[in-house]
Structure formats: structure tokens, C-alpha cells
Amino acid sequence: MRHSLPIAPQFYVTAPQPCPYLEGRMERKLFTALQGETAEKLNNSLSKQGFRRSQNVLYRPSCADCSACLSARIRVADFAPSKSQKRVLKRNRHLERGASSPWATEAQYALFRDYLDSRHAAGGMADMDLFEFAAMVEETPIRTRLIEYRDTGDVAGDDPYEGLRAVSLTDILDDGVSMVYSFFAPEMTKTSPGTYLILDHIEIARHLGLPYVYLGYWVPGSDKMGYKAKFKGVEIYLNGRWEDLTHPDDYSSEINPLSVDPIAEQVARITLPDSQS
């Protein structure tokens, strides 16, 4: 008689490096490989436990003395747009959504480069070339879609983006859609494209009958992440469970050497797919 063994991925910890969200801090990540026939089940399971995907890796912050980064998601059933979010939808009504398999193009890369140069020139992706960009988009062992947003108006013939104005690399999970990475044309900043992409992904999830939109990490004290806390129905993953995000000022980004459990304890508490009831 054959018995199926539980999935037992190996977990590792990255070397400390400068934190991209809070100045003067060092970040560290707990991660595991995402590969083989069990990749989709593992991704679904660990996404519900605060992990995120990057190519063939699942990771979660595990800094030595800081626990500010909190995985966030929106409950679609409880979401209703605010007045300001309705204005964002109106300002971006000229954009047309299209979805395709994850395949990188030169127009996407041109948009990506201008986005990085204008917003993250000193970030970890600043030197990413076309081949590395293609790997980020195309190397996925799970169900992933590339969501493109194009300008429905007249597009100049010399437009390097070929009408493209925003892109989101999006995973389809068993309980939601996960916004892996998004970028947009720099001139769109005044129309709040980051907020718009989330609003549109709420509609995508609703259309698919999925209960959540996974947003990545919300970081109290980081201006870059502040907009994620402004959506009704936001939950955060804290102390091993999902709970409603209350007022952003209720959460601290202060360093505390006792705020992070030892790595061995963190790994021991991770629930793997075959061990779930």
C-alpha cells in the first residue's frame, strides 16, 4: 500500500540587508522554494499564513528585532469604496483592463524602468535588466496572470509604452487574488494608480467569486504603505491569525528585540498543506 508523505519544504533565512520601508533598519526574510507538483497547494497554504511569492520563492519577513511588516488582505464582501476612492475610479475610467499569461514585453519593461527611476531609484530592483524583468514575470510555477491597463484615448505614435499605463502581476489563489507586483507610468501619479489597481482587483475577485484580495505588506510608519490602510474590510496577519485592521495609529513600528520569535519556533508553527484538516 502506498502512502503519500506530507509536503516538507526546507526553510531558510536571508542575510540582513537595508530595509526598504523604514530608514535605518535591517530586514531579514524567512523563505522556501516553490516548485514541483505541490507548488500551488503550498502557495495557497502559506499565503494564508502571511507569506508572499517572488518568482519561485515564498517569503515572509523575519527581522531580528522588528515586526512592523504585516501581511494585509481585503475582505471583498465587506468592501465599499469611500468618496475619495470613487473619485479615483472616475479619474481612471479611461483605462481598459486586459489579462494574459505572464509573458514579458519590451513595452512593459520600458514602463517598469521609468516607474523605478521615478519612484525607487535607490531600491533593490534599480539595476534590473530586461532578462531579470522577464524572469520576475515569467518564472511562476502557479496560476499567474499579467493584468495590463491601457489608455483608451489617442496614443502618440512615439509612445514607448504602446498605450500601456499600468501593469499588475497577479496570482490566482484558491481564496483570492494576490497582487505580486504592480507598476505604472510616472505621469499617472496624480490619479492615484496604486489605489486604482487595488480597487480594480477587488472587482476581479468579486467577479471570480473569491473572498480576498491579498495586498502584500502594510508597514505602520511607512508613508509608502499608508494607502493600504484606507480600504474598508482590510485584515492583517498578526500573531498567527487574521484580524481586522483598526486605526493605523494603534500599531507600532518600534524596535523590540522580543517581538520576533526564534526561527525554529516560527517554522514549527507553519501549517503545511497535507497536515491541514
The predicted model scores a pTM of: 0.91
Q: In what order do the strands lie in the sheet with 29-33?
A: 11-13, 29-33, 57-61, 52-54
**According to the model, what pLDDT value does residue 3 have?**
42
Backbone torsions φ then ψ of 202, nearest 5 degrees: -65, -40
Question: What's the rounded Cα separation, in Å, for the pair 195 and 227?
Answer: 7
Question: Residue 168 carries which side chain, given as an amino acid letter?
Answer: S
Backbone torsions φ then ψ of 248, nearest 5 degrees: -55, -30
What DSSP letter does each residue of 101-144 carry, written as one string?
Answer: -S---HHHHHHHHHHHHHH-TTSTTTT--HHHHHHHHH--SS-E
**According to the model, what pLDDT value does residue 226 have?**
85
- With CA atoms as reference, report the closest residue to 22 among 72, 61, 76, 78: 61
- With CA atoms as reference, report the closest residue to 13 among 56, 65, 61, 48: 61
**According to the model, what pLDDT value does residue 217 have?**
93
Residue 31's CB is within 10 A of a number of other CB atoms, namely 19
Q: How far apart are the first and last CA of the chain?
A: 22
Backbone torsions φ then ψ of 215, nearest 5 degrees: -105, -5
Domain locations in the chain? 11-275
- With CA atoms as reference, report the closest residue to 81 among 181, 194, 195: 195
Residue range 11-275 in CATH 1.10.10.1100: no
Q: How far is CA 22 from CA 11, 216, 272, in A?
A: 25, 16, 31
Question: What's the rounded Cα separation, in Å, for the pair 264 and 188?
Answer: 44
Question: What's the rounded Cα separation, in Å, for the pair 8 and 272?
Answer: 8
Q: What is the pLDDT along the chain (277 residues), one digit of tens a residue?
A: 344 445 578 999 999 998 888 888 999 999 999 988 889 999 999 999 999 999 999 999 999 888 889 999 999 999 999 999 999 999 999 999 999 999 999 999 999 999 988 876 556 676 889 999 999 999 999 999 999 999 887 665 677 778 899 999 999 999 999 999 999 999 998 999 999 999 999 999 999 999 999 999 999 888 878 889 999 999 999 989 999 999 888 887 887 777 778 888 999 999 998 744 4
